[in-house]
A and B are shown apart, each in its own frame.
Chain A
Amino acid sequence: MDDLYRELILDHYKNPRMRGTLDPHDISYEDDNPLCGDHLRIDLRVDAQGRISEAAFSGEGCAISQASADLLTESIVGKSLEDVRKLGKEDILEMLGIELSPVRLKCALLSLKVLKAGAYGLAAAKDLD
């Protein structure tokens, strides 16, 4: 149908691979976008070498925010926390493969904001606001 709701996004929205919570977990952080009600929590397990061994997300919200969370958490398994630090807006957009208006961009970036805030504390996530 539409650029925005391509197969990829609808698929990850309707059939998420990474939905759930980790118990125990090493890192867990949640945040929301109160303007529209997107809410996300990301749990991570990190091995002794600082690599993400497991990731999961939970929450609710629009297709863009949830698909973005599913794709992002899927892509970071096996990556180091250092790699996560380097992720930016461009990576999310490339991952989703679509153009977004400023309003919907916030939906897409919520997962990255939560991930970075969890991995590095609030300072790293500030420039995504």
Chain B
Amino acid sequence: MNPRAATPVLLDWQGIREQFPILDQEVRPGVRLVYLDSAATSQKPEAVIEAMNRFYRKTNANIHRGVHHLAEEATAEYEQARMRVAAFIGAEQPQEIVFTRNTTESINLVMQTWGRANLHSGDTILLTVMEHHSNIVPWQMLASERGLQLEFVPVTEEGRLDLPSMERLLEEKRPALVAVTQMSNVLGTINPVEEIVRRAHQVGALVLVDGAQSVPHMAVNVRSLEADFLAFSGHKMCGPTGIGVLYGKRALLEAMPPFLGGGDMIRRVRLREFEANEVPHKFEAGTPAIAEAIGLKAAIDFLDGIGMDAIQSHEQEIAAYALDRLSEVPGLRVYGPPAAERGGVASFSMKSAHPHDIAQVLDRYGVAVRAGHHCAMPLHERYGLAATTRASFYLYNTRAEVDLLVEALGKVLELFA
């Protein structure tokens, strides 16, 4: 939890919620939507939708090369979006912000460029058992290709990283890279990334932080963390799909070879050779998701308008209430640490019903949750589970919605217990 004391401000959470038009609907006659699946994707406020529509109505043009008015406007807006992202995560300069399609693409970019150029047979990459597949599979691919060793920090029964084990692995294996999630999309666990980066750097490892779940839900500052890379997605933070970010320290990005080849990432092309462009354009080939970048800027403006600390506070309160109420449901177990140490995610199992059936019954009452492995099969295997049901909260959720969730779970018990 952010140590900065939050200035007590009475925020109009209901007013904030009303800015999300999609939440005001009935999923079937008389049944209102209770959206508890923000970890899968977040809903978008009117301001974000309007920013993208406005771009297409007034300013749309291709960027970086045009001389005409619209092209200059569009380019300015796109680059302003980049600067906004840099400011949001505390990056020193906008050149350290690469726009990608999503977190997955960001991580694959690092694997394919930094990874291939710097990792050699016998090198070790340290991951954790709680990682999302997007922060496991690319490293498996590289390991296969290059003969690398993959090691995993275990997860304790309470859902925390086994830090003594991590310490041992860092000392003994001397990994070249540590790739770790800042917040688990299953357990909600917030990992001590600043400390992990410090220790990793001491043994000579670089650190890639998966911020897909954390950046939308808490204040993240890459300079405080001293992370070498940070990856996150627009669509989980009230922004559109199709836009993601890779933050990388400038020196690292400068040294990395390009990712995709084509237009815009070049300075010059002859028949048989090319000169790559400067960072970050070197990593942005082809026409990017321009409207989406602008949508992301609007999302950041929206979130900052409320304040990330306030958002995290609100969410933790909802999560605490949820964990409390869920503990009343017989035969239900929530995985992960206590509410004070987690973000707004609650994945659980029930003795009497399978996740698919739970989610299906909940849907009947308008409650949208997710059932499955949540792209974290190794984590589920660690707990001996094939799947869990996951309720995830964001700034627009309320305690009343938690009550509806628990009421619907009561119906599950009625049917299956």
Task: Please give the residue numbers on chain A whose beta carbons come within 8 Å of chain B beta carbons, in ascending order.
Answer: 1-2, 4-5, 10, 14, 34-39, 60-64, 103-104, 107
B76 at the interface (CB under 8 A from A): no
From residue A48, how far is it (CB to closest CB) to chain B in Å? 39
B415 at the interface (CB under 8 A from A): yes
Q: Mark B347-361, 1 if CB is under 8 A from A, else 0.
A: 000000111110011
* In the A-B complex, the 10 residue pairs with the closest CB atoms: A37-B386, A62-B354, A62-B356, A37-B387, A63-B357, A62-B357, A36-B387, A2-B364, A36-B356, A5-B415
Residue B192 at the chain A interface, CB threshold 8 Å: no
B372 at interface, CB cutoff 8 A: yes
CB atoms of B411 and A61 under 8 A apart: no
CB distance from A36 to the nearest CB of B (A): 5
A-B contact count (CB 8 A): 54
**In the complex, what distance in Å separates the CA atom of A32 from the CA atom of B17?**
41
Residues of B within 8 A of A5 (CB): 357, 360-361, 415
Contacts of A2 in B (CB 8 A): 361, 364
Docked CA distance A61–B371 (Å): 13
Q: Is B252 an interface residue (CB 8 A)?
A: no
Query: In the complex the two chains form, is A63's CB within 8 Å of B416's CB?
Result: yes
Contact B360 A4 (CB under 8 A): yes
The closest CB in chain A to the CB of B353 belongs to A63
Q: Does B101 contact A (CB under 8 A)?
A: no
Contact B415 A10 (CB under 8 A): yes
Chain B interfacial residues counted at CB < 8 A: 19
Contact assessment for B356 and A34 in the assembled complex, using a CB-CB cutoff below 8 Å: no
DSSP class of B's interface residues: helix, strand, loop or mixed?
Answer: helix
Nearest Cβ distance between residue B66 and chain A, in whole angstroms? Answer: 44
- B385 interface hit (Cβ, 8 Å): yes
- B402 CB to nearest chain A CB (Å): 22
Residues A107 and B415 in contact in the complex (CB < 8 Å), given A5-B361, A35-B372, A37-B387: no
Chain A residues within 8 Å of B377, by CB: 34
CB distance from A41 to the nearest CB of B (A): 15
When the two chains form their complex, are residues B356 and A107 in contact, meaning their CB atoms are under 8 A apart?
yes
Residue contact A36 to B355, C-beta cutoff 8 Å:
yes
Q: How far is the CB of A35 from chain B (nearest CB, A)?
A: 6
Say whether B84 faces chain A, with CB atoms less than 8 Å apart: no
A84 to B371 alpha-carbon distance, docked (Å): 32
Report if B373 contacts A (CB, 8 A): yes
The answer for the CA separation of A63 and B23 in the assembled complex, in Å, is 30
Given contacts A10-B415, A35-B372, A37-B354, 15 further A-B contacts (CB under 8 A): A1-B411, A2-B361, A4-B360, A5-B360, A5-B415, A34-B377, A36-B373, A36-B386, A38-B386, A60-B354, A61-B354, A62-B357, A64-B356, A104-B356, A104-B360
Q: Please, could you name 6 A-B residue pairs with CB atoms under 8 Å apart, sorted by A? A: A4-B364, A5-B415, A34-B386, A37-B387, A63-B354, A63-B357
Give Cα A64 to B357, complex, Å.
8
Shortest distance between the CB of A13 and any CB in chain B (Å): 8
**B352 CB → nearest A CB, Å:** 10
Nearest residue (CB) in B for A10 is B415
Q: Are A1 and B387 in contact (CB under 8 A)?
A: no
| Docked CA distance A32–B125 (Å) | 31
Contact A36 B372 (CB under 8 A): yes
Residues of the B chain whose Cβ atoms lie less than 8 Å from the Cβ of A35: 372-373, 387
Closest B residue to A5 using CB positions: B415
Q: Which residues of B contact A1 (CB under 8 A)?
A: 364, 411, 414-415
